[in-house]
Chain A
Amino acid sequence: MNILELDHINKSYGSHKANKDISFNVEKGAVFGLLGPNGAGKSTLIRIITNIIAADSGTIRIDGQAFKEAHNQIIGYMPEERGLYKKMMVGEHLVYLGRLKGLSKADATKKVKDWLERLQIADWWGKKIEDLSKGMQQKVQFIATTLHDPLLLILDEPFSGLDPVNSNLIKDEIFELRRKGASIIFSTHRMEQVEEICEEIVLINNGQNILQGKVKEIRQRFKENKYQVLYNGTHAPTQLPGYEIVVEKEGTLVLKALEGQSPNQLLRTLLDQGLEIHHFNEILPSINEIFIRQVQIP
């Protein structure tokens, strides 16, 4: 079952094509990464998903249904560029945003109080937004996004401006929301976070969907049969038929297996040459490397 289905979405601004024929699905309960370099068309796509702007063509289904007004209440969207009313107090601001999402005043007030307590910032209620640091404001924005218990959470660069401690705090909350059944679309260009958090990704470049799939599968798909060996010994191995030596430095060896070679064979050959192996692993490309490689394809 999919929480979101995009089917052949197109959007142009004048002569500029922001989204070209984009299609993908997001499974219920998934943590889904929407990746792409700056200006790739991510924000436009998210705005189409959240019904802020309309696509020129293509269909969107949310929770199996074509978009309707009520869907706003099951989506929680945290935009990349985000601000708050500086003169308002944290409590009233959050209640206001909750009510705009359709919560009653009493409901919104209760939920805001719960959230502030959970993040151990209950004393912020009467603080003015302008007195908060950027990181503190991020927390308030995160609460605002999740206040109405959305089924689909769309987070655009949620960690920008957060220190590691608060990043972890928010990360834990994201997983907690997912455990409760929310699906999460996570848009970023910080690849290490993608590998850590997302199970599935779609990569957008120049408005087009150029790569899509499970993170593990993609890394497998783009692997180059490289292996890293850490060894003890004075002499480096010389004769390694079927392998190409990529790096050779004191005690470290990076090899690339040619066609038809298995890691077991490599290990055996190395042992036969009298090396004392301390560590042996296959090098899978990081999502970052794949990203750069894919984006640079002309």
Chain B
Amino acid sequence: MSKIWLIIQREYWTRVRKKSFLLTTLLAPLGIVAFMVVSVLVALSGETERRVVVIDETGLFKNKFEDKDGFYFKYEDTTLAYMNEVYKNLQYDGILYIPQPKNWQTIRPEYRSESQLGPTAKSHVTSQISRVTRNILIEQEKVDKQALERINNIDVSITQKIIGEEDDKQASAELGTALGYALGFAIYIILLVYGTMVMKSVAEEKTSKVVEIIISSVKPFQLMMGKVLGIGLVGLTQLVIWGFLMIGLYTILGLVFAGYLTELSQVANDPAMSAGAPDQAKVAQFIEAFRQVNLLQLFGIFVFYFVGGYILYGSLFAAIGSAAGDDMDGNQSLNFIVTVPIIISIIIMTSVVQEPTSTLAVIASIFPLTSPVVMPARLGFDIPGLWWQLALSMIMLVLGFIFTTWLAGRIYRTGILMQGKKITIKDLGMWLRG
């Protein structure tokens, strides 16, 4: 046992001390934040100012456009031909020409300028024109404007409540799906990234012949487990650091937007207010549901599936690494034996977040090869009977990784000593028996 511990320590420290570890650990969350900041900045700075002159043949649009979204409107009573000549000298960026329509159902205005409008800017202008046209029609048809507004603003938002639970517990399908995707993908990425790391490291140890020296002191199984666990601890360390960074960011954002959040939750609980702003209400419900999630419990279960799934797949990756020849490319065909079930898991997961109570969801979240990705993806939903499924799934996962480490150990101890010849799946089977 103390030898495994020595190996774990070496595997852990040589990786954690690397500059690249520090960089990826710190930069990954910063990268995500930077990505969000940049996309917000792009969205904000996307507006260019346009001064637009309106030539209106109907006479009904005068002074009706709002100056917003970067558009500033002026109205001139002149001909289009004349304005075409002088609009530049008058410092306009474009001409909006509204001809007399044949009927008020089809409006065909023209926007003339040196450069085309982008899709967003175009839709801004279009929506202004249709808003004004609607008002013109309301006048013409003598429709009760307020009645129409009420009809147009019907807001339907289903609140799901779980029967038998406390009344104030709100379920949010949107939250479930979002959380499910996030957790499932996180495990998927972790399995692939750290699994590949194990495989490469084993293959390197084999081709550099270090393994020949190490196994004169320790059993192959000890070396394999030491490596799998050591690299797993590196992953866990990274996860914990990211967790703290997230909590830090969450707290900072919470402080900055404290007022906004309170406002939102008031909106959620006040039907009169939420009627006016349907989107806001949905967001508020989402946030309210998120507040009710037991984050600590969620994190605990997530870590369990991370550890269990990682040991299960990590040991299989180690076995594949042990079969590596001198050229790493030849290893690809063996690699896929292990990556295929992970990829199948993610495919199942995307369907499970839509139907978290389906039979497929139940089976896939109990079967140990798929459960590490599929089960966490269901945690965001309130599912009847989830607890016994969770218990069964966890037991199966533990049995699963005991089995795969045993299996991998048998392949590994032969594989690491095989030199030269290209290894096939058939060979792996033979080592397993031998």
List chain A positions with a Cβ less than 8 A from chain B: 13-14, 47, 50, 52-53, 72, 75, 77-79, 81-88, 96-97, 99-101, 141, 144
Provide the residues of chain A in CB contact with B417, threshold 8 Å: 47, 52-53
Q: Pick the 9 closest A-B CB pairs, nearest first.
A: A83-B209, A83-B208, A79-B212, A100-B217, A77-B216, A81-B209, A83-B210, A101-B217, A81-B212
Asked if A50 contacts B216 (CB within 8 A), the reply is yes
Within 8 A of A (CB), among B2-50: 3, 6-7, 10, 14
Q: Is the CB of A86 within 8 A of B208?
A: yes
Q: B213 in the interface, Cβ–Cβ < 8 Å?
A: yes
CB distance from A286 to the nearest CB of B (A): 31
Residues from chain A with Cβ under 8 Å of B14 in the complex: 85, 87-88
* Chain A residue with the shortest CB-CB distance to B213: A82
Give complex CA distance A47, B213 in Å: 11
- The reply on B419 being an interface residue by CB < 8 A is yes
Answer yes or no: B295 CB below 8 A from chain A CBs.
no
Q: Which chain B positions have C-beta within 8 A of A86?
A: 208
A-B contact count (CB 8 A): 56
Interface residues of B in 173-223 (CB under 8 A from A): 208-210, 212-218, 220
Q: Which residues of A contact B10 (CB under 8 A)?
A: 96
Instruction: Tell me which of A14, A75, A88, A100 contacts B214 (CB under 8 A).
Output: A100
B213 contact set on A, CB distance < 8 A: 78-79, 82-84, 97, 141, 144
- B430 CB-CB contact with A under 8 Å: yes
- Cβ–Cβ contact B217 & A72, under 8 A: yes
What CA separation (Å) do A198 and B214 show in the bound complex? 27
Q: Are B218 and A100 in contact (CB under 8 A)?
A: yes
Taking the closest CB of chain A, its distance from the CB of B19, in whole angstroms, is 12
> A84 and B216: CB pair below 8 A?
no
Query: Within 8 Å CB of B216, what residues of A?
Result: 50, 52, 72, 75, 77, 79
14 A-B pairs, CB-CB below 8 angstroms?
A50-B216, A52-B215, A52-B216, A82-B209, A82-B212, A83-B209, A83-B213, A85-B210, A86-B208, A97-B213, A99-B6, A100-B214, A100-B218, A141-B213
B contact residues vs A (CB 8 Å cutoff): 3, 6-7, 10, 14, 208-210, 212-218, 220, 413, 417, 419, 430, 434
Chain A residues, CB < 8 A from B6? 96, 99-100
Q: Give every chain B residue within 8 A of A101 (Cβ-Cβ).
A: 217
Instruction: Report the minimal beta-carbon distance from B236 to chain A, rounded to whole angstroms.
Output: 22
Q: By CB atoms of chain A within 10 A, which of B10, B210, B212, B218 has the most?
A: B212
Task: Name A75's closest neighbour in chain B (CB-CB).
Answer: B216
Other A-B contacts than A13-B434, A96-B6, 12 sampled, CB-CB below 8 A, are A14-B430, A52-B215, A77-B216, A81-B209, A82-B210, A82-B212, A83-B208, A83-B210, A83-B212, A83-B213, A85-B208, A85-B210
Give the complex CA separation of A13 and B431 in angstroms: 10
Closest A residue by C-beta to B13? A92
Rounded to whole angstroms, the CA-CA distance of A85 and B205 in the bound complex is: 8
**Smallest CB gap from B7: residue in A:** A100
Q: Which residue of B lies closest to A144 (CB)?
A: B213
Contacts of B220 in A (CB 8 A): 52
Q: Shortest distance in angstroms between B195's beta carbon and chain A's nearest beta carbon?
A: 21
Q: How far is the CB of B189 from chain A (nearest CB, A)?
A: 25
A198 to B7, CA, bound (A): 36
Interface centre among B216, B218, B220, B413 (most CB of A within 10 A): B216
> Chain A contacts of B208 at CB under 8 A?
83-86
Neighbouring B residues of A141 by C-beta, 8 Å: 213
When distances are taken between beta carbons in the complex, the residues of chain A under 8 Å from B217 are 72, 97, 100-101
Which residues in B have their C-beta under 8 angstroms from that of A53? 413, 417
A47 neighbours in B (Cβ, 8 Å): 417
A81-B215 contact given A87-B14, A96-B10, CB 8 Å threshold: no
CA A144 to CA B7, docked complex, whole Å = 16
